Amino acid sequence: MATRIICFRIQVQSPALLIVFVYAVALAGMAETVQAQETSVNFNRDIRPLLSDRCFHCHGPDEEDRQEGLRFDQRDGEEGALNVLVPGDADASELYQRITSDDPDLVMPPPDSHKKPLSEAEKKRFQSWINEGAAYQTFWAFTPLSQPVPPVNQSDSWSTSPIDQFVKRKLDEVGVSPQADADRRTLLRRLSLDLTGLPPSREELTNFLSDQSVNAYENAVDRLLDSTKFGEHMGRHWLDLVRFADTNGIHHDHFRDLSPYRDWVIRSFNENLPYDDFVRYQLAGDLYETPTNDQLTASGFNRLHMIIDRGTMLPEESLARNVIDRVTSVGTAFMGLTVGCAVCHDHKYDPISSKEFYQLYAFFNNIDATPETGGRSGNDFKRGLQQPYIELPSSEQSSAREKLQKQAALLQKQLSELKAGVGKASDDEAADKSVAETNAAETQQKIKQLELEIKELRGELSRLEMLIPAAMVMKERAELRPAHIMIRGAYDDLGEQVERATPAFLPPMPKITGRPKSRMDLANWFVSDEHPLTARAAVNRFWQ
């Protein structure tokens, strides 16, 4: 029963996302298990881990460490593994000869490499793989999503859900039996902690134990999903992932209030926002034709980077670091990849070149914000915010601010008229001198009183504005800012100019004509049916 806990409930509109959310094919090697039925040895499951552990250091993607012009992370090409493989004949393959050699000068991995020698079982695995054709596979996470057929188990009394059928098959393969159902008290505790992060109350526990209906568990799930604590719990994990903070970081580390973005994330989970939109709003909420406040607020995902004080870093460097932060955060949150490695050089383990990193960079470097440092121009230091941002006052706050502004404007008008009157009186020779002096003193007293009242009103207005929530948002410049490869990641050492594009190892973005590609195009590409990573990264994270 406990294995059937529903850990998330985000709706999806994309069929590809739905497939993964329903069947979780990216979990615990299940996808590879499904792909591995036709042959006894599967490259991704059985061979790639051995190559990665024993061979990639000297014969992998890192050009600096690569030995003898040979790499095993790819089959074809001038330096590919096919040079030491004879598909179908292990004995004739130099790779197999080397790993089975008794000669310390020939055997691989070398005895002095500090790599664990291959076991006899692992050598036989290589032998079988080569004899079966030495087929390479794209890394499983980069392959298109497909809907697997759940296995038919000998006994389905334990569970009939699709995910549990995969789990049961694996348990059967390794000779492990499922544990007995947890007692109801333990079950509710697990469920409550999973969905809200909090243990059940005494009243909730009593109600659950007394509910003997067949839907008691499902009722408990629905109750917890309907709790506002569900969104707070799920939102906490998301905010950690996307580097949410209440300060600007670095140097002075000033306070900043980004609570509207936090509240939007929590509402998104509680209101069951489709995951497609959850992604689109954050990547490109500002680019909708008529964006709502929620869409604009969500685009603040791209503004959660540190805000660097002027004097700590030049504006040009600050801009570059902020954009790099946006790209690496997108890679982490939506692809589950450390794309930031490619800031300085081609990625050593994932198929992302430095050029491709800066092609993604080009989507995010066009923000209309001057300067992108903590300078005083256009920034709100009271709330720790940096332009562009939107204010989100409540109706009561709007009314109160309008009232204070009108009062201040009226008093300012009276003050201006009094000051103008003082000048006229001093120029009027026909006034009696003593009367003029008396009037002038009274006028000056009124001026001081008005100035004091205006100051008090402005102070009250300032305190009110401190309470008005505001959200930093994205906003595109009218003129496209060019993007260049930064040599070794240096903002002031620019190389080739690049255009907006996505990594070549992933499905191509649909062709755009007549205009530059936009962040909305990028967002739509992320949630397309063809993208292999977005759903996998999401379901693995929720499952975790």
Is position 159 within any domain?
no
**Residue 488 and residue 436 in one domain:** no
CB 485 within 8 A of CB 358: yes
In the 3-class helix/strand/coil scheme, how is 477-525 assigned residue by residue?
CCCCCCEEEEHHHCCCCEEEEECCCCCCCCCCCCCCCCCCCCHHHHHHH
**Residue 194 and residue 311 in one domain:** no
477: left (phi over 0), alpha (psi -120 to 50) or beta: beta
- One digit per residue, the tens of pLDDT, for the chain of length 544 reads 232 233 334 444 444 444 444 444 434 344 444 444 445 899 999 999 999 999 998 998 888 888 999 999 889 988 999 999 999 999 999 999 999 999 999 999 999 888 999 999 999 999 999 999 999 988 889 998 888 888 886 666 777 788 888 888 888 889 998 888 899 999 999 999 999 999 999 999 999 999 999 999 999 999 999 999 999 999 999 999 999 998 888 777 788 889 999 999 999 999 999 999 999 999 999 999 999 999 999 999 999 998 876 667 788 888 999 999 999 999 999 999 999 999 999 988 888 999 999 999 999 999 997 666 555 555 666 677 888 999 999 999 999 999 999 999 999 998 898 888 776 655 555 586 777 777 778 888 888 999 999 999 999 998 888 888 999 999 999 999 999 999 999 999 999 999 999 999 999 999 999 999 999 999 999 999 999 999 999 999 888 7
Is position 155 within any domain?
no
CB atoms within 10 A of CB 76: 10
**Residue 323 and residue 457 in one domain:** no
- How far is the C-alpha of 495 from the C-alpha of 320, rounded, in Å? 14
**Residue 368 and residue 492 in one domain:** yes
Q: Which domain holds residue 75?
A: 43-136
Picking from 193, 226, 259, the residue at the C-terminal end of a domain is 226
- How far is the C-alpha of 96 from the C-alpha of 145, rounded, in Å? 33
Q: CA dist 521 to 357, 483, 528, Å?
A: 17, 18, 10
**Residue 365 and residue 492 in one domain:** yes
| 8-state DSSP, 8 | -
- How far is the C-alpha of 301 from the C-alpha of 329, rounded, in Å? 9
Place of tokens 């980004």: 258
**Residue 461 and residue 316 in one domain:** no
**Residue 364 and residue 415 in one domain:** no
**Residue 260 and residue 354 in one domain:** yes
Q: Which residues contact 451 (CB under 8 A, 6 or more apart)?
A: 415
**Residue 507 and residue 360 in one domain:** yes
Q: What are phi and psi of 391, to 5 degrees?
A: -95, 145
Is position 175 within any domain?
no
**Residue 289 and residue 426 in one domain:** no
Is position 385 within any domain?
no
Is position 191 within any domain?
yes
**Residue 53 and residue 83 in one domain:** yes
Picking from 226, 258, 292, the residue at the C-terminal end of a domain is 226
73 HSE (CA, 13 A, CB side) = 18
Q: Which pTM does this prediction carry?
A: 0.82
Number of domains in the chain: 4
**Residue 268 and residue 323 in one domain:** yes
Nearest to 531 by CA among 287, 283, 303, 266: 283
Is position 110 within any domain?
yes
Is position 346 within any domain?
yes
